[in-house]
């Protein structure tokens, strides 16, 4: 029997990524979560192996793989460490991808190879204290002054913020033009006035250094404008279409991990003289978990496959992200339930999965925003 | 001199719950004992130049194991696949591989893993050497140029043996000797960028169906029986000295302790 959407290349890819993650990431996954530590020792290996340039073309230092490969890689990495899956998803889909899709040849040459080889880490800086789902409500500004933009921004909850070198800053270049006055400026760490704030002490995804990034009168060269002035929201939406597939794949990976742990524990743990798996109450949970995971996988792969066909993907990506994130919530919750009291302890991995899953319903568009997107697509 | 290494690999069955391995893509993988052999050949290529050819015999799913080898850095991959080959034992496998190796062309080193993780015979490497009438060294952990060919080191208990062998030579590689490299994503993309795996049928090897498969095999699996290990727990009574005496007595009767 062959799996839908998947060909031999994807199977080889999945096996290879899984083997790497089991060997290099599994032994430290719990520790980096507890210590809230970004594992450079593994990230550097991943950089050499192409994980930071999954879809970038080979001539720019990337692996040149398709969107379905990207989804499988994020799924597999997140199955072992969701925080590292998050780092890769954001770096590949909302930092590197917009540079490839909207950048000039000179911008490609300047940033893409460094990002694709993982020698520089990318970040996407849209959210502000008072502008999250309401992206058009940002107040950051980038005003022209000679050969530079003078950037003032207060960006919060920046994934990879603590390690990012190349940041896509959404700012108003024409404050009078409303939504059409928002642009994307690429700011590099080290620019005077570029400040990385304290790391957030998060519930989950703790190995990812999420921080605020602030720019105070930072002078960024004029040729760091990505795309055209005023194109910011369009770039953001295009990036988020790809990003949603990544976050959906991440949620799928977490759910898959929780299912595996739930099954393992149900087979091992004895209560009332038999393994948990013999109790019908537990069987019902396992059946629901497996079904949720399967359905999420089909939706995620379909969205990725649709993008690879060059077809419009907003709806498929939004549905996949909504469903997979909600499924991750349900499945990790059930996995904790199967573990009973032990599932509430850091001694068991499901406790981490439960915390990690929660944010997939929030970031890169909340479940509610996704429902709005889907409804708009359905109702016209 | 450019070195041409050939590495024979196997796509093994991951799990055979009822004793019969189903060779589906999801139930197959590159034999873990072949990875160090592949790594040894790739390191030799990196150090001294040359090319690496990977070769396997088996069902079409073996193409995926070959693609992994290409992604690791092999230059050429050959899959010998033919329905007539089904049921081939190790001797027939060795004959088919030897015929293919002759067809591939001149070579300097022929690598195998020490054994396969599914059928676990450890025979195909040495048998192929015998069919090819070339010297064989098993369990090699270091390869260097020798006086008239290759200098090959292997471990025997706590002793290092160093062999001088004229080229071309056949080796199996010790499973712990070479840590297989992780597969890179660009490597996978390149492995599938062009139809890199060559598919050969029996016609390509000038072999006939009666020479191979079950018909050509002098051995066959007569019976397959799952080994069941029962574990029991017995509590020893009395004070510690009595418990120790009872334990020693029991271990002696089991034959695990001399009396």
Place of tokens 């059930």: A334
CA distances from B247 to A217, A319, B230, B231 (A): 80, 64, 19, 16
| Confidence check: pLDDT of B19 > 80 | no
CA distances from A94 to A222, B88, B240 (A): 21, 52, 68
Enclosing H/E stretch for B152: strand B149-156
**CA distance, residue A64 to nearest chain B CA (Å):** 7
In a domain, A2, yes or no: no
Contacts of B64 in chain A (CB under 8 A): 8, 11-12
Q: Which of B25, B63, B186 sits opposite A63 (nearest CB)?
A: B186
For residue A183, the cross-strand partners are: A171
- ω into residue B113 within 30 of 0, thus cis? no
On the CB side of B72, how many CA atoms lie within 13 Å of its CA? 31
Per-residue tens of pLDDT for chain A, all 380 residues = 578 999 999 999 999 999 999 999 999 999 999 999 999 999 999 999 999 999 999 999 999 999 999 999 999 999 999 999 999 999 999 999 999 999 999 999 999 999 999 999 999 999 999 998 898 999 999 999 999 999 999 999 999 999 999 999 999 999 999 999 999 999 999 999 999 999 999 999 999 999 999 999 999 999 999 999 999 999 999 998 889 999 999 999 999 999 999 999 999 999 999 999 999 999 999 999 999 999 999 999 999 999 999 999 999 999 999 999 999 999 999 999 999 999 999 999 999 999 999 999 999 999 999 999 999 999 98
Contacts of B71 in chain A (CB under 8 A): 12, 16
Residue from A1, A8, A55, A65 to probe the interface with B (highest B Cβ count within 10 Å): A8
CA distance B29 to A192: 52
Enclosing H/E stretch for A294: helix A280-308
Same domain, A375 and A240: yes
CB pairs A-B closer than 8 Å: 64
Same domain, A111 and A135: no
In a domain, A323, yes or no: yes
The answer to whether A11 contacts B64, with C-beta atoms less than 8 Å apart, is yes
Kindly list the domain boundaries of chain B, sorted by start residue: 4-216, 232-259
Which chain A residue is nearest to residue B195, measuring alpha carbons? Answer: A9
CB A202 within 8 A of CB A80: no
User: Of the candidates A183, A213, A230, which is a domain's last residue?
Assistant: A230
**CA distance, residue A17 to nearest chain B CA (Å):** 8
In a domain, A66, yes or no: yes
The answer to whether A20 contacts B67, with C-beta atoms less than 8 Å apart, is no
Residue A166: give the domain boundaries: 123-230
Give the pLDDT of residue A242. 85
- CB-based burial label for B151 (10 Å; 0-12, 13-18, 19+): middle
Task: List phi, psi (to 5°) of A221.
Answer: -55, 145
Q: Tell me: the pLDDT tens digits for B129-154?
A: 999 999 999 999 999 998 889 999 99
**Domain holding A25: CATH number?**
1.10.540.10
Same domain, A375 and A237: yes
In a domain, A272, yes or no: yes
Considering only CB atoms, which residues of chain A are within 8 Å of chain B? 1-3, 8-9, 11-13, 15-16, 19-20, 23-24, 45, 48-51, 54, 58, 62-65, 69, 73
Q: Does the structure's ipTM exceed the value 0.90?
A: yes
Contacts of A66 in chain B (CB under 8 A): none
**Domain holding A329: CATH number?**
1.20.140.10
**Token pair listed for A188:** 């590099």
Same domain, A146 and A164: yes
For chain A, counts of helices (H) and of strands (E): 12, 10
Where are the strands (E) in A134-267, listed by range? 141-145, 148-158, 166-172, 182-188, 194-199, 211-221, 225-226
User: Of the candidates A64, A88, A120, which is a domain's last residue?
Assistant: A120
CA distances from B173 to A141, B142, B179 (A): 63, 9, 11
Same domain, A46 and A80: yes
Task: List phi, psi (to 5°) of A190.
Answer: 105, -20
In a domain, A35, yes or no: yes
User: Can you give the C-alpha Rg of chain B in angstroms?
Assistant: 22
In a domain, A112, yes or no: yes
The answer to whether A49 contacts B192, with C-beta atoms less than 8 Å apart, is no
Contacts of A3 in chain B (CB under 8 A): 26
Q: How confident is the model at residue B156 (pLDDT cuts 50, 70, 90)?
A: confident
| Cα four-point dihedral sign B19, B25, B26, B30 | positive
Q: Tell me: the pLDDT tens digits for B24-77?
A: 888 889 999 999 999 999 999 999 999 999 999 999 999 999 999 999 999 999
CB A70 within 8 A of CB A246: yes
In a domain, A58, yes or no: yes
Q: Which of A1, A12, A73 sits opposite B71 (nearest CB)?
A: A12
Q: Which of A16, A62, A73 sits opposite B71 (nearest CB)?
A: A16
Same domain, A179 and A145: yes
Same domain, A49 and A171: no
User: Of the candidates A190, A205, A230, which is a domain's last residue?
Assistant: A230
CB A137 within 8 A of CB A182: no
Q: How many domains does chain A have?
A: 3
**Cα–Cα nearest to B42, from B136, B138, B173, B196:** B173
CA distance B174 to B171: 10
CA distance A115 to A230: 25
Catalytic residue among A75, A326, A351, A364: A364
Class of domain B4-216: alpha beta
| Confidence check: pLDDT of B1 > 70 | no
B203 compared with B15, residue with greater pLDDT? B203
CB B134 within 8 A of CB B112: no
Q: Which of A16, A45, A62 sits opposite B188 (nearest CB)?
A: A16
Number of Cβ within 10 Å of residue A82's Cβ equals 32
**Cα–Cα nearest to A158, from A88, A222, A226, A209:** A209
- The pairs formed by B193-196 with CB atoms below 8 angstroms and a separation of 24 or more are B196/B67, B196/B70, B196/B76, B196/B77
Contacts of A56 in chain B (CB under 8 A): none
Same domain, A187 and A106: no
A364 given a catalytic annotation = yes
Contacts of A69 in chain B (CB under 8 A): 185
CB A154 within 8 A of CB A140: yes
**Cα–Cα nearest to B159, from B141, B173, B132, B181:** B141
**CA distance, residue A20 to nearest chain B CA (Å):** 6
CA distances from A86 to A38, A207, A252 (A): 12, 10, 12
């Amino acid at each position: 029997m062959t799996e839908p959407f998947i060909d031999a290349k994807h199977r080889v890819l999945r096996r290879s990524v899984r083997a790497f993650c089991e060997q290099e990431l599994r032994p430290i996954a719990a520790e980096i979560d507890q210590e809230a530590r970004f594992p450079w020792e593994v990230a550097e290996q991943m950089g050499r192996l192409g994980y930071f340039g999954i879809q970038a073309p080979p001539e720019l230092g990337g692996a040149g793989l398709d969107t379905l490969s990207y989804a499988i890689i994020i799924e597999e990495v997140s199955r072992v460490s969701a925080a590292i899956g998050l780092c890769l998803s954001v770096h590949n889909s909302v930092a590197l991808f917009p540079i490839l899709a909207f950048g000039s040849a000179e911008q490609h040459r300047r940033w893409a190879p460094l990002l694709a080889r993982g020698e520089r880490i990318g970040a996407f800086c849209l959210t502000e204290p008072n502008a999250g789902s309401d992206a058009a409500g940002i107040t950051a500004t980038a005003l022209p002054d000679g050969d530079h933009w003078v950037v003032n921004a207060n960006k919060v909850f920046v994934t990879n913020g603590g390690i990012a070198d190349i940041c896509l800053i959404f700012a108003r270049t024409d404050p009078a033009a409303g939504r059409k006055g928002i642009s994307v400026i690429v700011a590099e760490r080290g620019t005077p006035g570029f400040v990385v704030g304290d790391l957030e002490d998060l519930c989950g995804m703790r190995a990812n250094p999420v921080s605020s990034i602030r720019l105070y009168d930072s002078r960024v060269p004029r040729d760091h404008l990505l795309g055209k002035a005023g194109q910011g929201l369009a770039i953001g939406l295009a990036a988020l279409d790809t990003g949603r597939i990544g976050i959906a794949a991440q949620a799928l990976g977490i759910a898959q991990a929780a299912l595996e742990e739930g099954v393992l524990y149900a087979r091992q743990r004895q209560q009332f003289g038999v393994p948990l798996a013999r109790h019908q109450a537990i069987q019902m949970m396992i059946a629901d978990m497996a079904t949720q995971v399967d359905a999420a996988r089909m939706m995620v792969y379909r969205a990725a496959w649709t993008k690879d066909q060059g077809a419009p993907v907003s709806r498929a990506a939004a549905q996949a992200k909504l469903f997979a994130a909600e499924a991750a919530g349900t499945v990790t919750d059930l996995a904790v339930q199967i573990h009973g009291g032990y599932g509430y302890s850091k001694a068991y991995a499901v406790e981490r999965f439960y915390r990690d899953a929660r944010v997939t319903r929030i970031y890169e568009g909340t479940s509610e925003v996704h429902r709005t997107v889907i409804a708009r697509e359905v109702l016209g | 001199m450019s070195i041409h290494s050939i590495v024979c690999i196997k796509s093994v069955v991951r799990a055979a719950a009822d004793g019969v391995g189903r060779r589906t893509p999801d139930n197959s993988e590159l034999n873990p004992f072949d990875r160090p052999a592949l790594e040894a050949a790739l390191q030799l290529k990196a150090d001294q130049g040359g090319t690496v050819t990977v070769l396997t015999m088996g069902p079409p799913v073996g193409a995926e194991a070959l693609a992994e080898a290409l992604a690791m850095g092999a230059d050429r991959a050959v899959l010998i696949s033919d329905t007539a080959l089904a049921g081939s034992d190790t001797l027939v496998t060795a004959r088919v591989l030897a015929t293919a190796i002759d067809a591939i062309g001149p070579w300097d080193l022929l690598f195998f893993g020490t054994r396969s993780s599914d059928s676990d015979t450890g025979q195909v490497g040495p048998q192929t050497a015998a069919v090819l009438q070339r010297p064989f060294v098993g369990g090699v952990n270091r390869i260097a140029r020798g006086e008239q060919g290759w200098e090959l080191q292997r471990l025997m208990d706590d002793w290092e043996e160093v062999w001088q062998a004229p080229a071309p030579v056949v080796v199996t590689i010790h499973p712990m000797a070479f840590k297989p490299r992780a597969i890179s994503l660009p490597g996978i993309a390149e492995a599938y960028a062009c139809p890199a795996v060559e598919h050969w049928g029996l016609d390509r090897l000038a072999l006939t169906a009666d020479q191979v498969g079950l018909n050509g095999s002098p051995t066959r699996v007569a019976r397959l029986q799952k080994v069941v290990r029962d574990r029991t727990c017995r509590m020893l009574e009395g004070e510690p000295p009595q418990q120790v005496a009872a334990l020693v007595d029991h271990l002696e009767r089991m034959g695990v302790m001399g009396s």
